[in-house]
Amino acid sequence: MKQIINDLIAQALLELAQAAQIPSELSINIQVTPARDPGQGDFASNIALMLAKPTGLAPRALAEMIVAKMPVLDTINKIEVAGPGFINFFVDSGTSHAIVQHVLEQGDDFGRSTLGQGGKIQVEFVSANPTGPLHVGHGRGAAYGATLANLLSYVGFEVQKEYYVNDAGRQMHILGTSVWLRYLDLCGESIDFPSNGYQGDYVWDIAATLHRENAERFHKDAAEIYADVCEDAPAGDKEKHIDDLIDNAQRLLGEDEYRFVFDLALNTLVKVIRVDLHAFGVDFDRWFSERSLSDEGLIEQAIKRLQDNGHVYEQDGALWFRSTDFGDEKDRVVCRDNGQTTYFASDIAYHMNKFERGFAKVINIWGADHHGYIPRVKASLSALGYDADNLEIQLVQFANLFEKGEKISMSTRSGEFVTLKQLREDVGQDAARFFYVMRKAEQHMDFDLDLAREQSNDNPVYYLQYAHARICSVRRQCEDKGLEVDINNASLTRLDNAHEQALVKHLGLFSERVESAALRHEPHQVVNYLRELANQFHSWYNAHQFIVDDVELRNARLALASAIGQVLGNGLKLMGVSAPEKM
RNA sequence: GCGCUCGUAGCUCAGAUGGAUAGAGUGUUGGCCUCCGAAGCCAAAGGUCGUGGGUUCGACUCCCGCCGAGCGCGCCA
Q: What is the pLDDT of residues A536-559, one digit of tens each?
A: 999 999 999 999 899 899 999 999
Residue nearest to nucleotide B32 (CA to C1'): A542
The string of DSSP letters for A218-278 reads T---HHHHTTTPPPPTTTS-HHHHHHHHHHHHHHHHHHHHHHHHHHHHHHHHHHHHHHHHH
Strand partners, A365: A394
How many Å from the CA of A444 to C1' of B46?
A: 24
List, run by run, the mean pLDDT of 10-residue segments along chain A (583 residues). 79 79 69 76 83 76 84 83 83 82 94 91 94 88 94 95 92 94 95 90 95 95 90 85 93 94 96 95 96 94 95 93 90 92 94 95 90 91 92 84 69 74 88 88 76 69 93 92 84 88 90 91 92 93 91 93 96 95 91
- Looking at the domain A97-114+456-574, which fold is it? Isoleucyl-tRNA Synthetase; Domain 1 (1.10.730)
How many Å from the CA of A449 to C1' of B12?
A: 13
Q: What is the pLDDT of residue A327?
A: 84
Q: What is the pLDDT of residue A483?
A: 85
Residue nearest to nucleotide B40 (CA to C1'): A538
How many Å from the CA of A51 to C1' of B47?
A: 33
**What is the rounded CA–CA span in Å between residue A218 and residue A262?**
12
Instruction: Report phi then psi at A461, rounded to 5.
Output: -65, -35
On the question of a common fold for A97-114+456-574 and A125-292+397-453, the answer reads no
Q: What is the pLDDT of residue A27?
A: 59
A344 nearest nt, CA–C1':
B77
Residues with Cβ within 8 Å of A451's Cβ and at least 6 positions away in sequence, in order, are: none
Tell me if A403 sits within 8 A of A453, measured CB to CB. Answer: no
How many Å from the CA of A531 to C1' of B34?
A: 32
What size, in residues, is chain A? Answer: 583
Tell me if A545 sits within 8 A of A475, measured CB to CB. Answer: no
**What is the rounded CA–CA span in Å between residue A103 and residue A499?**
18
**What is the rounded CA–CA span in Å between residue A216 and residue A557?**
74
How many Å from the CA of A499 to C1' of B39?
A: 22
How many Å from the CA of A542 to C1' of B32?
A: 10
Q: What is the pLDDT of residue A415?
A: 66
Instruction: Report phi then psi at A394, rounded to 5.
Output: -105, 120
Tell me if A351 sits within 8 A of A392, measured CB to CB. Answer: no
A372 nearest nt, CA–C1':
B72
A527 nearest nt, CA–C1':
B14
A171 nearest nt, CA–C1':
B77
Q: What is the pLDDT of residue A310?
A: 93
A166 nearest nt, CA–C1':
B77
**What is the rounded CA–CA span in Å between residue A357 and residue A342?**
23
How many Å from the CA of A530 to C1' of B48?
A: 33
The class (CATH top level) of A2-91 is alpha beta
Domain coordinates in residue numbering, chain A:
2-91, 97-114+456-574, 125-292+397-453
How far, in Å, are A64, A173, A204 from residue A201 at the CA level? Answer: 74, 18, 5
Residue nearest to nucleotide B69 (CA to C1'): A444
Terminal Cα distance for chain A, rounded? 37
The string of DSSP letters for A161-222 reads EEEEE--SSHHHHHHHHHHHHHHHHHTT------TTS--SHHHHHHHHHHHHHHTTTT---H
How many Å from the CA of A443 to C1' of B26?
A: 19
Instruction: Report phi then psi at A548, rounded to 5.
Output: -115, 165
Predicted-complex ipTM score: 0.93
A341, with CB counted inside 10 A (0-12, 13-18, 19+), is buried
Q: What is the pLDDT of residue A334?
A: 95
Q: What is the pLDDT of residue A294?
A: 92
Residue nearest to nucleotide B35 (CA to C1'): A545
**What is the rounded CA–CA span in Å between residue A54 and residue A43?**
24
CA atoms within 13 A on the CB side of A318: 16
CATH H superfamily, domain A125-292+397-453: HUPs (3.40.50.620)
How many Å from the CA of A524 to C1' of B49?
A: 21
How many Å from the CA of A87 to C1' of B71?
A: 45
Residues with Cβ within 8 Å of A267's Cβ and at least 6 positions away in sequence, in order, are: none
A46 nearest nt, CA–C1':
B19
DSSP-derived secondary structure letter, A459: S
* Distance from chain centroid for Cα A51: 38
**What is the rounded CA–CA span in Å between residue A386 and residue A369?**
25
Residue nearest to nucleotide B57 (CA to C1'): A49
Residue of A455, A582, A579, A566 whose CA lies nearest to A503: A566
A338 nearest nt, CA–C1':
B75
Instruction: Report phi then psi at A271, rounded to 5.
Output: -70, -40
How many Å from the CA of A582 to C1' of B24?
A: 26
**What is the rounded CA–CA span in Å between residue A330 and residue A314?**
15
A468 nearest nt, CA–C1':
B37
How many Å from the CA of A446 to C1' of B41?
A: 29
Tell me if A348 sits within 8 A of A400, measured CB to CB. Answer: no
**Mean pLDDT, all residues of chain A:** 89
DSSP-derived secondary structure letter, A340: P
**What is the rounded CA–CA span in Å between residue A349 and residue A300?**
8
How many Å from the CA of A277 to C1' of B52?
A: 49
Q: What is the pLDDT of residue A457?
A: 66
A172 nearest nt, CA–C1':
B77
How many Å from the CA of A50 to C1' of B52?
A: 29
A331 nearest nt, CA–C1':
B75
A37 nearest nt, CA–C1':
B20
**What is the rounded CA–CA span in Å between residue A88 and residue A33?**
10
Q: What one-letter code names the amino acid at A92?
A: D
Nucleotides of B under 7 A from a protein CB: 2-7, 12-17, 19-21, 24-27, 32, 35-42, 56-58, 70-77
In three-state secondary structure terms, A435 is helix
